[in-house]
Amino acid sequence: MLTSHLKTGRTDMKTLVQDAQDLFREATAATGLKADELRNKGMALLETAMEKAHDAQVVAVETGKEIASTADDYVHENPWRAVAVSATVGVLIGMLIARK
């Protein structure tokens, strides 16, 4: 579920940035009222992009807090199992590093 949200967010951001770039290219070629109109549309697109980026950041922070809370609860309920898992992961990483 998180992966689909990330892909959707990434696609939305790419589209918004591309649209803004197109508008700014048009605005540089245009003059007068048309240029002002294109610049305003570009600024609106950038504001939308910033809002979406902020929303994605909020979701990521909340998800991180939930994962940390779940891990903390698990460690408190199963301290020796957590120590064993941590030691196993440490040994595996050490073996991978030593092989190189």
Residue 94 CA to residue 86 CA, distance in Å, equals 12
Q: What is the pLDDT of residues 5-42, one digit of tens each?
A: 667 767 777 787 777 777 777 766 767 777 778 778 77
Question: In the chain, where are the structural domains located?
Answer: 2-99
Q: How far is CA 50 from CA 23, 74, 79, 93, in A?
A: 17, 36, 42, 38
Least confidently predicted of 35-39, 65-69, 76-80: 35-39
Percent of the chain's residues with pLDDT above 90: 22
Length of the chain: 100
pLDDT tens per residue across span 36-54: 787 787 778 778 878 888 8
pLDDT at 87: 93
